[in-house]
Amino acid sequence: MNPVLAVVAPLSVGFLVPLVHIFKKRHTGMSVIISAGICSVVSAVVALSGWDGVAVTMGGWTPELGISLMVDRLSGAFLLLAATGFPISLACSMESFGYSPWRFYVLFFLSWGAVNGIILTGDLFNMFVFFEIFSVAAYLMVSYPPRSWQAVEASFKYLIFGTVGAMFLLLGIAYSFMATGQLNLGILSQMMASVPPVTLSVIGGCLVVGLFVKSGTAPTHFWLPDAHSSAQTSVSALLSGVLVKVSVYALIRLSFLLFFPVMREVFSVILFLGTLSVILGHLMAFQQEDIKRLLAYSTVAQIGTILIGVGCASSFGVSAAVYHCFNHMTAKMGLFLVAGALAEDRASRDISHMSGLWAHRPLFVAAFALFAVSLAGIPPFSGFMSKWLLLLASTKEGHIVPALAIVAGTVVSSAYYLKVLRAFFSPSETPVPHRRPRPVSGRLVALLSVLCVLLAAAPFIPGASSVLFSVGDSAVDGASYRDVVLGK
């Protein structure tokens, strides 16, 4: 299937939603649900049909002049991640907002289209444009509904940080265009060898700083806890589960294509900042009293864990990182859904007020425990498997300190998840004030917990593990990327 469909389908839905709202108001909800299903299926089909590498160049130009869209195993894996995460978040927002806020659904589908665009594009400037579409939609989704002051402030902060990141990205793109006269990633990866090392370090610095800001890595993570904690439940789940991963995808793609053969120092920087994020994120999460802020800081730490896998600069490390992206998505989306539901029932996000919830909603609390145990890295669950692979990858390359940071982070994260669970299980004197039925959230949480358990088996099934490790191979192999894009 033509990869462009995965970008066009969500974008066109995004622009059709207002028209449906004007002309067929009664059908808005149903059409949004159906079109989300279609977009998800289209993305999945594009990912699977392009598993061995498919590229198209728009408008019949050659890759030197036109914009290439390209699917390979790495982008296919992230397309599948987006195709799972977006419908889950949509179902949750349908439950909490109802069908009426069509403006929200416009933003939702625009960001979906832009996310697919970032994943598929083979052109550096086009990637920047998609980054900005997705960022602007994300700023607005964070502050939705615009009544909450905290969310408006968080969104403003996200906007300032996001735009600074985008400017660094743009500067890096401008430098690489100046140095080579090309924007196509395939051709750029070939020409990077001829760029002088000083220029290369400037390009690398700008691109990596931009992507670090966008993905919320440690020294530039200040926007992330605010934005993820003050957004609505479904948006927080989407931000933590999918949108942050897209910046990680861009980081994997650009660092391996442009700097892997010529400048390994970039990976040392990624490794260092990943380690810093793991340590800082876990320590900050430990101090939080607000449950959603705690989960948001835990996202900072998990992004750091993923970046350690990327910074190992090996095929194995990238496979482990991608695997951890999936595990983090299932577990963290589940955690945000449960935490959001329980916080609404309690009418407070303070952990000390969260008592008596085991008696109130036992299944939600049990699911929370499952996700928390998985993300902390306790053996039979998926989070343990990917952390184990990341540890192996990191020690194999001789990086002991990052591996130790992951292990120490496991201890700290068990401590703070236990703090939350202790509050959930402790009896309460006051009854829980609200009890709204949540059939959709309940099913989503059940689905995510099944996924969370099933994903743990992936490295043991021979077929699945070979698929997993071929994802890393396709990320590292710049030559096959060039062959696909340039049509050899």
Q: Provide the residue count of the chain.
A: 488
Q: Which is nearer to other proteins, 127 or 320 (CB)?
A: 127
Closest separation between CB of residue 146 and other proteins, Å? 7
Sole binder of other proteins in the list 28, 40, 93, 155 (CB under 8 A): 155
CA angle 431, 433, 438 (to 5 degrees): 115
Q: Is residue 402 reached through a cis peptide bond, with omega within 30 degrees of 0 on the bond before it?
A: no
User: Does the footprint of other proteins cover residue 61 (CB under 8 A)?
Assistant: no
69, β-bridge pairs: 56, 121
Binding part of the chain for other proteins, among 2-10, 89-97, 128-136, 271-279 by CB under 8 A, reads 128-136
Closest separation between CB of residue 200 and other proteins, Å? 16
User: Does the footprint of other proteins cover residue 154 (CB under 8 A)?
Assistant: yes
User: Does the footprint of other proteins cover residue 103 (CB under 8 A)?
Assistant: no
- Footprint of other proteins on 348-367 (CB under 8 A): none
- Footprint of other proteins on 199-258 (CB under 8 A): 222, 226, 230
Q: Which is nearer to other proteins, 157 or 332 (CB)?
A: 157
N- to C-terminal Cα separation, the chain: 19
DSSP-derived secondary structure letter, 184? B
Closest separation between CB of residue 398 and other proteins, Å? 36
User: Does the footprint of other proteins cover residue 125 (CB under 8 A)?
Assistant: yes
User: Does the footprint of other proteins cover residue 150 (CB under 8 A)?
Assistant: yes
Residue 457 corresponds to which tokens in the numbers above?
Answer: 């088996």
User: Does the footprint of other proteins cover residue 374 (CB under 8 A)?
Assistant: no
Q: Which is nearer to other proteins, 167 or 363 (CB)?
A: 167
Q: Which is nearer to other proteins, 36 or 142 (CB)?
A: 142
User: Does the footprint of other proteins cover residue 270 (CB under 8 A)?
Assistant: no
Closest separation between CB of residue 320 and other proteins, Å? 33
Sole binder of other proteins in the list 8, 16, 33, 171 (CB under 8 A): 171
Closest separation between CB of residue 416 and other proteins, Å? 20
User: Does the footprint of other proteins cover residue 129 (CB under 8 A)?
Assistant: yes
User: Does the footprint of other proteins cover residue 425 (CB under 8 A)?
Assistant: no
User: Does the footprint of other proteins cover residue 68 (CB under 8 A)?
Assistant: no
Closest separation between CB of residue 210 and other proteins, Å? 11
User: Does the footprint of other proteins cover residue 163 (CB under 8 A)?
Assistant: yes
Closest separation between CB of residue 289 and other proteins, Å? 16
Sole binder of other proteins in the list 5, 45, 174, 191 (CB under 8 A): 174
Residues in the interface with other proteins (CB under 8 A) total: 32
**Which residues contact other proteins (rule: CB under 8 A)?**
125, 128-129, 132, 136, 139-140, 143, 146, 149-150, 152-157, 159-160, 163-164, 166-167, 170-171, 174, 177-178, 181, 222, 226, 230
